[in-house]
Amino acid sequence: MQTRTLGQSGLTVSAMGFGCMGLNFAYGPGLGKPEAIGLLREAFEAGVSFFDTAEAYGPFTNEELVGEALAPIRDQVVIATKFGFENGNAQAGLDSRPERIRAVAEASLKRLRTDRIDLFYQHRVDPKVPMEDVAGTVKELIAEGKVKHFGLSEAGAQSIRRAHAVQPVAALQSEYSLWWREPEQEVLPTCEALGIGFVPFSPLGKGFLTGTIDVNTAFAKDDFRNVVPRFSPEARQANQVLVDLLGEIAAGKQATQAQIALAWLLAQKPWIVPIPGTTKRHRLQENIAAAEVELHKDELRQIDDALAQIQVQGDRYPPHLAARVGK
């Protein structure tokens, strides 16, 4: 697989990463440990070198899974994890106090079975803690060799600039896809100006852009999408027009809808690295193959023109979660 460098950080990763959250968290029943470890190692064998996890996924169990899976190949991969929630629980509120950041780093190192965290993200901006204190704490961890690079997730332009002034930000991770293009307004231009890489999570619209979800799809009771307004039956029905458009383009390229959605992201900037996740081997191979799908300028223009005629329905988060992003 081709590689990409995240901005000016010097951090080089596979052009397609792997978002590990869904292996055992947030999207209903996950995989058993042997199956999940096998899938992660298969991703590596297929060329993926960039794996994304967080203490909050589980909490804690996702990091343990990733650590066990990647331990034999640790020096050949880049592992990203995150801090920022009280006691590692995303439901408990935000906590990016310096002492908490340090505690998370130590615990994550043990769970990940490693001596350094390649990319350490603040999971969400904590309004109670000055960004300078957050960046300064990670800067100290970098000086100590426990962390290699600093990242932010779902941060707004002002927070990005404040953090970057203290400790260079290697990457910003935020939702970005054909059905959520808000980062194009301020965040992507800020990243470009400062030389920061961009890592889109949910690059397939939490599965919707694959074409496998329709108005009749029923999610497991513990699936996060049950509370997402964009996945209400009415929104799914209205948004089907976007999936149909992807299907038309994919047919002409002998590709799948998911591959077109991922190829579109790769075509936006050379420092963008999507991290699709999956629990299925055939989806893993499909996602990886998207890195070989090239969309030409006229095809990209066709997609943009068509998208301009489509109004995606439904908020991407319920209000209590929407309040945590873009700070």
Active-site entry in 27, 57, 121, 176: 57
Minimal CA–CA distance to 123: which of 94, 164, 92, 161? Answer: 94
Q: Cα dist. 296→281, 306, 326 in Å? A: 29, 15, 31
Contact 4, 271 (CB under 8 A): yes
Of 199, 220, 205, 189, nearest to 274 by C-alpha is: 199
Best CA proximity match to 262, nearest among 280, 274, 245, 247: 274
d(CA 280, CA 66): 16
Q: Where are the alpha helices (DSSP H) in the chain?
A: 33-45, 61-70, 98-111, 131-143, 157-166, 187-194, 233-253, 257-268, 281-289, 297-307, 319-322
Residue matched to tokens 């873009």: 326
Pair 42, 73: CB distance under 8 Å:
no
DSSP 153-219: ES--HHHHHHHHHHS-EEEEEEE-BTTB-GGGTTHHHHHHHHT-EEEEESTTGGGGGGT---TT---
DSSP assignment letter at 10: -
Q: Is 206 exposed, middle or buried (0-12, 13-18, 19+ CB in 10 A)?
A: buried
Query: Is 176 known to be catalytic?
Result: no
Q: Is the dihedral of CA 27, 203, 19, 118 positive or negative?
A: negative
Nearest alpha carbon to residue 201 among 257, 98, 123: 123
- Just list the catalytic residues: 57
